[in-house]
Amino acid sequence: MTETLELADVCARRSNTYWLLSRFVLEPPTAAFLSALATALDAAPVGPDAPLGDETAALCRAVREALGDESARDALLVEHTRLFGGLSKTYGAPPPYESVAREGKLLGECTIAVSAAYSAAGFDAPVPEAGPADHLGAELRFLALLCHRESEARQAGCEGEASAWLERERSFLDDHVLKWVPQHCERMLTLAQTPFHLAMIRLISGACMLDRQDVTELSALAAVSSNAA
């Protein structure tokens, strides 16, 4: 039982991470958002020995600097629009949609496949205001919801259900997120100019790739726990 609850806690932390990553994409870095982010980062492990610790430390520094400088916050708002607004082909990063990254167009086959993945999991579009279903923020939010459902299932002792949610996470990472997000982040890194967005973009890419390793480890731990029960 203890191992099951520990796995549930891990899933809850993964859910919180994906939720925060989705907020990075979906919400402009206003003073209120940065203040909430500073609070959330207070307990985050930093340093070279922690997973993504250097990136987290860089983000902490950037948040503190922006909170103390109104002109810096204004610059962050402008850059957020340039990186995530998808305003035009000649200004800023490409629109943050999987279909644009993988097919060169909006509303492609990727959009249909992502929408089907949401429906199969019992969810409507996680962030309808973001536009097409394959928006970066929506895909990250979907992973947050999947991890949350897995955590709930583990807390309830429903190991079969939990494993099904974990498999959905693996499938969505392999079939969608990891097929385009790391490359899209690499593109954004060539365009980002502020320490805040550089750290944030590295966190998005790094966290998704690291989580894929965690999914494999969680599957093995869950199997051991189930066999021992």
Domain coordinates of the chain in residue numbers? Answer: 2-228
Domain 2-228 has CATH 1.10.3480.10: yes
**Mean pLDDT for the chain?**
89
User: Higher confidence at residue 55 or residue 180?
Assistant: 180
Q: For residue 7, give the nearest of 159, 133, 189 by alpha carbon.
A: 159
HEC letters along the chain: CHHHHHHHHHHHHHHHHHHHHHHHHHCCCCHHHHHHHHHHHCCCCCCCCCCCHHHHHHHHHHHHHHHCCHHHHHHHHHHHHHHHCCCECCECCCCCEHHHHHHCCCCCHHHHHHHHHHHHCCCCCCCHHHCCCCEHHHHHHHHHHHHHHHHHHHHCCCHHHHHHHHHHHHHHHHHHHHHHHHHHHHHHHCCCCCHHHHHHHHHHHHHHHHHHHHHHHHHHHHHHHHHHC
pLDDT of residue 92: 75
Q: Which residues contact 140 (CB under 8 A, 6 or more apart)?
A: 18, 19, 21, 22, 25, 177, 204
Residue identified by tokens 């021992």 is: 228
More confident residue, 89 or 162: 162
* Rounded average pLDDT over 109-122: 97
Q: Specify the pLDDT at position 115.
A: 97
The average pLDDT across 174-193 equals 95
Residue 8, amino acid: A
Tokens of 144: 């947050």
Instruction: Please report the sign of the dihedral spanned by the C-alpha atoms of residue 219, residue 220, residue 222, residue 227.
Output: positive
Question: Tokens 């429906």, residue?
Answer: 119
Query: Tens digit of pLDDT for each residue in 48-97?
Result: 777 888 889 999 999 999 998 999 999 999 999 999 987 666 677 889 99
Distance CA 135, CA 126 (A): 10
Cβ atoms of residues 159 and 226 within 8 Å: yes
The residue written with tokens 């954004």 in the block is 188
Is the predicted pLDDT of residue 102 greater than 80, yes or no?
yes
The predicted structure's pLDDT at residue 132: 94
The pLDDT, as a whole number, for residue 1 is 43
Q: Which conformational region is residue 86 in: left (phi greater than 0), alpha (psi within -120 to 50 degrees), or beta?
A: left
Q: What is the pLDDT of residue 89?
A: 62
Percent of the chain residues past pLDDT 90, beyond the cut = 70
pTM: 0.91
